[in-house]
Amino acid sequence: MSLFSADGLFKHFGGLVAVDRVSFAVEPGEIHALIGPNGAGKTTLINLISGLLPLDAGRLVLDGADLTGLPPYQRVRRGLSRCFQVTSVFGADSVFDNLMLAVQARAGSSFRCLRRRAAEGSLRESALALAQKFGLDAALDRAAAILPHGDQRKLDVALALATRPKLLLLDEPLAGMGPEDSAQMVALLHRLRTETAILLVEHDMDAVFQLADRISVLDYGRVLASGDVASIRDHPEVQAVYLGTEASG
């Protein structure tokens, strides 16, 4: 059985159909890439799956649990996590406090109000372990807003991973990164696949072909094609709408 299945997802904004009966599945341990031209509906799809936008129709199932209609925080509790296309961290806070906040979300109640959080050793340890995994341990005391772009993207992914998801939604994790940062992020995502399945929206085709087990192509809100890397690379229709010169060049 698939780890995650989306079935007939539909969303329109007024007369514009943004996501048109999209169905796909993600298998356990898989990196499933979602590609398509700008405006194809990729980010809308991510917002529908994570619950930040309400679905007009369709069904979402993760690991046997029906997510359709659940508010975002309950989807997170059932194992869904995401990061954002535009880096979304707590800019004024230190990297450490960012990680603490993410770890805290997963570890018990956030309604505790008498105990100092700084005294909770297990939270600190989880936050530090996360920093180490993402190579952020040298920047713990720095405010997130003044980190270099590449480190902010890493922090964004680290926050998403702190909730220990079964399925991680990554919306263009490589956006705006230089080649060095990109290579680091790709290596990092490689390592993450042992912990969680990933739904990856990305424009960097080199990275997609390196990482993805399967690829779905989205165009005008519909799934144009879905398959393994080789079949997508050679798919004539996909080449026409999207890959174009990039694939042949």
Partner 1 sequence: MKRAPGWLARSLPWLLLLSLALFPLLAPSLDLDYYVGFIRHLLIVMMAATSLNFILGYGGMVALGHSGFVGVGAYTVVALVDGGVTSAWGAWLAAVAVAGAFAAVIGAVSLRTRGVYFLMITLAFSQMLHHLAVSLSAYGGDDGYSLHAPLLLGVGLDDAHPHVLYWVVLALAALLFTFSCRLAVSRFGYALRGIRDNETRMAALGYPIYRIKLAAFIGAGAVAGLAGALLASHNKFVSPSVMHWTESATLLVMVVIGGLGRRWGGPAGVALWLTLAEVLKLYTEYWRWPMGLLLVLIVFLAPKGVVSLFEGPRRAG
Residues of the shown chain interacting with partner 1 in the complex, contacts defined by CB under 8 A: 50-52, 71-73, 76-77, 81-84, 88-94, 97, 100-102, 104-106, 109-118, 120, 141-143, 146, 159-160, 162-163
Q: Cβ 89 to partner 1, closest distance in Å?
A: 7
Q: Cβ 75 to partner 1, closest distance in Å?
A: 8
8 Å CB contact between 84 and 157: no
Separation CA 181–CA 135 (nearest Å)? 12
DSSP characters over 49-107 = HHTSS--SEEEEEETTEE-TT--HHHHHHTTEEE--SS----TTSBHHHHHHHHHHHHS
| Minimum CB distance to partner 1 smaller for 59 or for 142 | 142
Q: Cβ 8 to partner 1, closest distance in Å?
A: 24
User: 44: helix, coil or strand?
Assistant: helix
Q: Cβ 117 to partner 1, closest distance in Å?
A: 5
| Minimum CB distance to partner 1 smaller for 6 or for 46 | 46
What does the block give as tokens for 151? 């480190």
| Minimum CB distance to partner 1 smaller for 93 or for 213 | 93
Report CA Rg, the chain. Answer: 18
Query: What residues have CB less than 8 Å from 114, skipping those under 6 apart?
Result: none
Residue 106 backbone dihedrals phi, psi, to 5 degrees: -90, -30
Residue 51: C-alpha distances to residues 149, 211, 237, 244 (Å): 27, 26, 31, 33
Q: Cβ 249 to partner 1, closest distance in Å?
A: 36
Q: Cβ 82 to partner 1, closest distance in Å?
A: 5
